[in-house]
Structure 1
Amino acid sequence: MTTRRKFLGSTAVFAAAAISTDALAQVVAGKGQFGASGLVGNLQGPTQSTVIPTSFKEAPQLAELVKAGKLPPVAQRLPAEPMVIKPLESVGKYGGTWRRAFIGPSDGENGNRIMASDKLLFWDFTGSKIVPSVAKSFDISADGRVTTLHLRKGMKWSDGAPFTADDFVFWFEDIYGNKDIVPAPIADMAAGGKAGKVVKVNETTVQFVFENPYFLFPSMIAGDTLIGGGQSVQQSSARSYGAYAPAHYLKQFLPKYSSEAEVSTKAKAAGFDTWVRHLHVKKDWQLNPEIPTLGPWRTTRPINTPTWVMERNPYYYVVDTDGAQLPYIDTIVMTLAENIEVANLRAMAGEYDLQERHMDLAKLPVILENRERGKYDVHLDLAYNGADTTLHVNMDYRADPLIGKLLGTADFRRALSMGIDREQLNETFWLGLATPGSTAPAEAMPENPGPEWRNKWSTLDIAAGNKMLDGLGLSKKDSDGYRLRPDNGKRLVIELLAVKAFMDWPKHAEMIAQHWRKIGIYGDVKESERGLAFQRMLSGDHQLFVWTNGGTELLYLYPSWALPTDVSNGAYGVEHAKWYASGGTHGTKPSDPHMVRALELFRGAAGQQEAERHKTAQEIWKIMIDQQFHIGICGQSPALMGVRLASRRLANIPGRTCIAQHCRTPGSAHPESWFYKA
């Protein structure tokens, strides 16, 4: 095994940085765990208060607009019952520009997460309790078939138009219900395979009604799901989900409210070949500054420019305990970084005020060394998902029948997994401090299948891997020791599609390919830009995709990196996802009975109470790990959005935040409650 000392001494990125022993010691103190570093604080965050202030305050620039008659007074802009946030440390003061990095038009999640309070319900800062958000409250019927949301009376969109139950009906009937926009239904809007519906009770009450019990539904609309992710994430990047939409604005782009000829003419005048493509851009808050939103800030300069700019929403529905309308910070300016390396260098130079996205764990010692020069603090936020790096297997690969057959064979996948030296990968890319193993969530999570499943098929065993591959009829090799295809005698090549994103996954893939030489497998690493890689996935044109399994720590709320349930994610076969989401009316049923069984269990869990759901999830995890539908490498670390640099000028910054997909990091820490001390 490569020792940590040897690794650090031989790696160029560290050699050039003159790292002190003290800085590294903070990371590797104790038993070599992140938790012993002194950089992992307690989970913290703001809380909600039920006491509504009797008077309200607003940002100075908004007060000037009120004075000039260009904006109604703050009390008229807020709902009758605004959400009240008790800040982590103290009430803040207005002003300032949050400087931050993004890496291009495909980095929309960078902003979506900051806007996460546009979700109907949310999770508290611990990630364990559902709390109000856009909806002031909810209830679910005793039989689990009806979930009722109670909206905030007088709440408004960012342009001042009323936000009501009509916006839910509009989304359900005219966006989600239009097959030109959403060709296939989503599983989130069905229970027991039966589609649900949205019903307006009155202006501030909306119901989601299902034929079968759906006790999971409140968690779904609080999670990062297609139904509950909120407008910012679910109506950007050509998605059309999220349960509500600004009817008063979007009707002008729909044929139903004029004619197909008229909206097509508008689309062509704007440079689009169809009205649907035009609509996708018009409803995308990242691209269209005119779209009304509910989040704390709104785009004023779009993401497809070198500087993505967001300014405060004057109608934001949240106040602090003193009645000050949030957010405190005026503006967010995201500056384009050419790549992750540039983003990290700028962060260490103090050019960003708070940055966790794209921060490279491998550079942690250098980041620590530069704290005083950059005037920032470093926080490590540990994730609960099983694998920061995962090989996602396309179970419906058709371009090459032999490769498709092998990828669909459990022993082939198991052999690939046992041919990986996770300890070396851990030492090289996680400073030796992650947890190697399968994709199973952390043992602290209620859906963890048991400690023995961490290493199932997920430890280095070259002899066993070779024996499995020989048993599959792949015993013949070329002069370099690589296995030959039984159909044509040529070298067997397995492609790993990788993106340099939250981690340097192409480098991970290259090391894995080197490991596979010992089991006679030639791994061909294809590095791709993120957007192009996802396009390949959606076309089914990938074999193994190297990415995280983030979000699967709560399987039901974000299953798309574990099971083919999401039509916008083709990791395991987009046709399989269409089959699942449509209840079998679209797409292709998986040929693997174990995958079918896992999907059946997953579908049935929606009607179960919480304790039973956890047991079902554990059974699903056992199937997925035994079958190695996804091959885990290392995880339960701060590698993905858990290395957090915070300017010492900022206040109300948590010592540790919840790194989980349903928490929408950093969303559950409510960035609108952060402020500049000076």
Structure 2
Amino acid sequence: MTLALRSLLLGGASALALGGAALAACPTATVADMKGLSPAFPQQFELAELQEAASCAMAFAENPEIAALNARILGNPELPPVAERLPAEPLVVAPYAAIGTYGGAIKGLSRATESGTSDVLSLRHVNLVRYSDDLKTLVPNVAKAWSWNDDYTQLTFTLRQGHKWSDGAPFTAEDIAFWYNDIITNRAITEKTPDRWTFAGEPATVEALDPVTLRFTFAAPQPNLLNRWAADYGQTFVPKHFLGRFMDKHNPDAAALRAQHGFATEADAVNFYYGNSDWKDVPSPLLKDPAKAQAIGVGVKPTLESHIVVEETSEGRRLVANPYFHMVDTAGNQLPYISEIREDFVPEREVVNLRILNGDVTWKQQAVELNDFPLLKENEAKGNYTAALAPTLGETVYYSFNRNHKDAALREVFSDVRFSQALSLGLDREEIVEIVYLGQGTPAQAIPAEAATVNFVTERHRTQFIEHDVARANALLDEMGLARGSDGVRRRPDGQPLAFRIQFASQGSPVQLHELARGYWADLGIRVDLREVTSDEYRAGANANDVDVFIWKNDGISGPFISQDATMLVPPFGDYFNPGGGFEWAEWKATGGASGTEPPADIKELWDLAEQFLSAPLGSPESDALGARIIDIHADNLLKIGIVSDIPSPYVYSNALGNLQPQTAKTYDFYWTYPYRPQQWFFAN
């Protein structure tokens, strides 16, 4: 590339005489009109790819408010021109319908600082790769390209030349190696490396080969691992230039810097900003200790996302556009179009609905329940919004009785598969469909694989014990020896009345469902107490093994998800946000039998099967055979009682939003809006 052309591409005029020929401005391709262009990946181009295909040269433009927005980012310096802020290799996005206009604020709602927030978080999310909106095609994002060796034990990423963090510092392969080698696997910072970031029980080797080339090497084949970056909230990059300065390895003056800001250890300093988690809704320094953040001079750690947090209180968050964001549209306008995100914390469902009805919400997806849809639909004109329905994945609410219960008598009852079979038969799913789900959905069991995304789920897996058969249910309970007392309530093995509590959060399951279940199970002679709590309270109790029944939506089960993360396949059959039980079994495995409870033989088998499943390409005969055996074990033990699948689910958006298209699916499994490119949304009026 000549110096003259390089200068142009970094922000010169829109045309240049080169070798006697003028290079015109690039065609403003949209998904609706691709101007005859066929990109290598759907709906996006690499800059060089577009310019070569269209014989054009791209000049860049910026949000006219960007300087004012940047001034709100604590610690950010004044901005250089947009061409110097963009990578030399920006990602060029074809908007859905139109080149957008700048400005405005997305108004979103979450329940609390760590509750119901992933919907809004996904609006700004980036990762190394993502899924296109067909939910099948992997496409570049932060990474420009990737390649595997022949046996899937080595994965190499190529990053974008000149990519920068939100504070203008270079983003390089060193930032990914730093995340893995100095934070995730560094016990001084992270006490235990998350299982999801070890492979066949071993850490990966992560090497920055040069500023734009990174290599992962694994102890076992990982053919499906790209799916993690494509659908996962976790980001595998952190700013070494910022966090590394608190660490002795990277800064000879780190101890003095820590002392200056009142950090006792490296972990205290790093986790003040990192949060000891790649889950981004943990309280930021602006909420935890705003005075310290001000003293350090940086509010939150630099980001690669489209927006960065500039304010956070117990009432909500405020974010502004990242002035160094790596995407542009086909006209050369730096994205995002929308200047701000305003996220308010509103825990009450009725207040959420009222805000939507009043037109005070731009986008709302997570925790909008189907039985709210008639109300939302009736008031569309009043609030100038649209309420739509989308297909769902992983929306089958489940009940999983605690087979590792701390109460020995309940443990004995819950561990007998006949109990789960009986209570499943006691549910009238047809009535539940009509009352709770407005006649939508299909009765089904909850298994850890979404049938629409894999080849190995059978009709038996989905439909056993779903009929409403009270006589058969009672016969199973009688067979267990759970005789009824004179009051009609069955007795536990220790003679006490058989009773348990359903503790639930409405974010994870509808209250009407539990009210109906309580009645159905009372008819079987079982006392059920209901208690609604916040999501945080439920998760705290469930992860401490202090609940009788584990309850949530059966998400994290799509093929792309389970093919690279065995969380749903093995005890405790879920993660912190959605635990499914078996904590004593998991402890037994983690400690090599030193503590915890030894599980039955077939449950023990799941760990070996899952490891093999992760090493087989999804959809291959080997993968399907392993998947079938895993699902057989879950189904034979009825580890989770499912209710209804294939439920369409509402989402709501302002009619002012442009470049919005109907969703292929509404699902956490593909991280909500991430496949639908919210960076190219704009306010059309």
The corresponding residue for 1:468 is 476
Is the alpha carbon distance of 1:334 and 1:49 closer, same or farther for their aligned partners in structure 2, counting shifts above 3 Å?
same
CA contact (8 A) 1:456 1:626 kept: no
Q: C-alpha distance in 2, partners of 1:216/1:606? A: 7
- What is the identity, as a one-letter code, of the residue corresponding to 1:627? N
Is the alpha carbon distance of 1:667 and 1:273 closer, same or farther for their aligned partners in structure 2, counting shifts above 3 Å?
closer
Deviation at 1:298, TM superposition (A): 0.7
Q: Is 2:458 the counterpart of 1:429?
A: no
Q: Is 2:537 the counterpart of 1:529?
A: no
Q: Is 2:68 the counterpart of 1:61?
A: no
Secondary structure class of the residue paired with 1:347: helix
Is the alpha carbon distance of 1:539 and 1:533 closer, same or farther for their aligned partners in structure 2, counting shifts above 3 Å?
same
Q: Which of 625, 630, 638 matches 1:628?
A: 638
Secondary structure class of the residue paired with 1:135: coil
Q: Is 2:117 the counterpart of 1:111?
A: no
Q: CA RMSD in A?
A: 3.0
**Could you give the per-residue CA deviations for residues 181-202 of structure 1, whole angstroms, max 9, x where no partner exists?**
4333333333333332212211
Q: Is 2:438 the counterpart of 1:445?
A: no
Q: C-alpha distance in 2, partners of 1:467/1:676? A: 61
CA contact (8 A) 1:186 1:566 kept: no
Q: C-alpha distance in 1, partners of 2:568/2:100? A: 38
Is the alpha carbon distance of 1:129 and 1:587 closer, same or farther for their aligned partners in structure 2, counting shifts above 3 Å?
farther
Q: C-alpha distance in 1, partners of 2:272/2:597? A: 33
Secondary structure class of the residue paired with 1:116: coil
- What is the identity, as a one-letter code, of the residue corresponding to 2:435? T
**Could you give the per-residue CA deviations for residues 316-343 of structure 1, whole angstroms, max 9, x where no partner exists?**
1111111111100001112232412211
Secondary structure class of the residue paired with 2:303: coil
- What is the identity, as a one-letter code, of the residue corresponding to 2:537? L
Quick check: 121-130 or 253-262, which moved more? 253-262
Deviation at 1:571, TM superposition (A): 2.8
The corresponding residue for 1:86 is 94
CA contact (8 A) 1:47 1:86 kept: yes
Q: Is 2:656 the counterpart of 1:649?
A: yes
Q: Is 2:304 the counterpart of 1:294?
A: yes
Q: C-alpha distance in 1, partners of 2:317/2:70? A: 27
Secondary structure class of the residue paired with 1:198: strand
Q: Is 2:522 the counterpart of 1:517?
A: yes
- What is the identity, as a one-letter code, of the residue corresponding to 2:506? K
Equivalent pairs, count: 607
Secondary structure class of the residue paired with 1:188: helix
Q: Is 2:389 the counterpart of 1:384?
A: no
The corresponding residue for 2:501 is 495
Normalising by structure 1, we get a TM-score of: 0.83
Secondary structure class of the residue paired with 2:563: coil
Q: Which of 154, 159, 180 matches 1:146?
A: 154
The corresponding residue for 1:353 is 362
Secondary structure class of the residue paired with 1:547: strand
Q: C-alpha distance in 2, partners of 1:389/1:403? A: 22
Secondary structure class of the residue paired with 2:155: strand
Deviation at 1:381, TM superposition (A): 1.0
Ranges in structure 2 where 5+ consecutive residues have no aligned partner: 1-40, 52-56, 286-298
Is the alpha carbon distance of 1:360 and 1:211 closer, same or farther for their aligned partners in structure 2, counting shifts above 3 Å?
closer
Deviation at 1:537, TM superposition (A): 1.9
The corresponding residue for 2:187 is 179
Is the alpha carbon distance of 1:295 and 1:576 closer, same or farther for their aligned partners in structure 2, counting shifts above 3 Å?
farther
CA contact (8 A) 1:390 1:549 kept: yes
Q: Is 2:210 the counterpart of 1:202?
A: yes
Instruction: Give matches, 1:537-556, under 5 Å.
Output: 537-554=542-559, 555-556=562-563
Is the alpha carbon distance of 1:69 and 1:430 closer, same or farther for their aligned partners in structure 2, counting shifts above 3 Å?
closer
Q: C-alpha distance in 1, partners of 2:583/2:259? A: 29
Q: C-alpha distance in 2, partners of 1:154/1:346? A: 42
Is the alpha carbon distance of 1:520 and 1:305 closer, same or farther for their aligned partners in structure 2, counting shifts above 3 Å?
same
- What is the identity, as a one-letter code, of the residue corresponding to 2:43? T
Q: C-alpha distance in 1, partners of 2:493/2:351? A: 46
Deviation at 1:406, TM superposition (A): 2.4
Larger Rg: 2
Instruction: Give matches, 1:581-620, under 5 Å.
Output: 584=592, 588=596, 590-610=598-618, 611=620, 612-620=622-630
Ranges in structure 1 where 5+ consecutive residues have no aligned partner: 1-44, 232-242
The corresponding residue for 2:420 is 413
Question: Percent identity between the aligned chains?
Answer: 27
- What is the identity, as a one-letter code, of the residue corresponding to 1:244? F
- What is the identity, as a one-letter code, of the residue corresponding to 1:607? S
CA contact (8 A) 1:328 1:672 kept: yes
The corresponding residue for 1:9 is none
CA contact (8 A) 1:557 1:662 kept: no
Q: Which of 158, 162, 186 matches 2:170?
A: 162
**Could you give the per-residue CA deviations for residues 556-605 of structure 1, whole angstroms, max 9, x where no partner exists?**
3565455436663543234544666x695997475122222233211111
Secondary structure class of the residue paired with 2:453: coil
Instruction: Give matches, 1:11-410, under 5 Å.
Output: 47-50=43-46, 51=50, 54-62=58-66, 70-107=78-115, 108-117=117-126, 119-224=127-232, 229-231=233-235, 243-254=236-247, 263=258, 266=261, 278=272, 280-281=274-275, 286=281, 287-288=284-285, 289-302=299-312, 304-385=313-394, 387-397=395-405, 399-410=406-417
Q: Is 2:487 the counterpart of 1:480?
A: yes
CA contact (8 A) 2:426 2:524 kept: yes
